[in-house]
Amino acid sequence: MSYALEKMAEFFEKRLADYDGHMRRDIGGAADFYAFTASLLPAFPGCRVLDLGCGAGLELEEYLAIAPKAHVTGIDLSRGMLDALQNKFPGRPGLELICGTYFDVELGQGYDAAVSVESLHHFTAERKLSLYCRLRDALKPGGYFILTDYFAESEELERQYFEDLRVLRQEQGLDEGMYHYDTPLTEEHEAEILRAAGFSSVKALAHWGATAVLRADTREG
């Protein structure tokens, strides 16, 4: 196989210069799904939102325009992406950025909602289950998670992506670290994991090609 795997954060840092342009131009539906995703988040003054894999924050540009008094915590592996996001909102109070992996860093507590856009399609069901359990606990009772991401078209393709990654790792002598390679789950599998993590309902709210917007609710207290 010819695809050279790159460490996750390094992959994004190398492409930082034209990252926003690439996302808006080349990802089907991006002209609409960022604004749609932002419109689903709470917008009252002082509301608290967690963004998993915020990167340079295309969804946050849309969101902070409609929720100027929101408090946002963004987690991302890439320092370069976070710096690019911070530079879009110099000195803005209530924007807290944490550099690290959302699988390890403390997520915090008491969020009204969480969001993740085009970040979680690199990980296994097992890793997502433990993340989603922690995420459910980080949300207030009645809080919710908006997941905008792209999904595999079939279970067969889902299996194939993971198998291709296994072969690439083996060929390139790479460990179990995080490398950039797309391994989306099917939408049904993703919803099953969210329910297994304790979210009470999971609904698909919109689709743009392979990208779907899912809403996962916690129970009211």
Ligand X SMILES: C[S@@+](CC[C@H](N)C(=O)[O-])C[C@H]1O[C@@H](n2cnc3c(N)ncnc32)[C@H](O)[C@@H]1O
By the criterion CB under 6 A, which residues form the site for ligand X? 8-9, 12, 23, 53-59, 75-78, 81, 101-103, 117-119, 122, 178
Per DSSP, the three-state class of 220 is coil
Specify the residue, 155 or 182, whose C-beta has the smaller distance to ligand X.
182
How near is the Cβ of 216 to ligand X at its closest, in Å?
17
How near is the Cβ of 221 to ligand X at its closest, in Å?
29
How near is the Cβ of 160 to ligand X at its closest, in Å?
21
Specify the residue, 28 or 142, whose C-beta has the smaller distance to ligand X.
28
Q: Look at residues 66, 216, 205, 54 and name the one whose alpha carbon lies nearest to residue 143.
A: 216
Specify the residue, 118 or 187, whose C-beta has the smaller distance to ligand X.
118
**Spatial separation of the C-alpha atoms in residues 175 and 178, rounded to whole Å:** 9
Specify the residue, 119 or 218, whose C-beta has the smaller distance to ligand X.
119
Alpha helices in the chain (DSSP H): 8-14, 19-26, 30-39, 58-66, 79-88, 125-138, 155-172, 187-196
How near is the Cβ of 118 to ligand X at its closest, in Å?
4
**Spatial separation of the C-alpha atoms in residues 202 and 216, rounded to whole Å:** 4
- Residue 90: HSE in the Cβ half-sphere, 13 Å Cα cutoff: 1
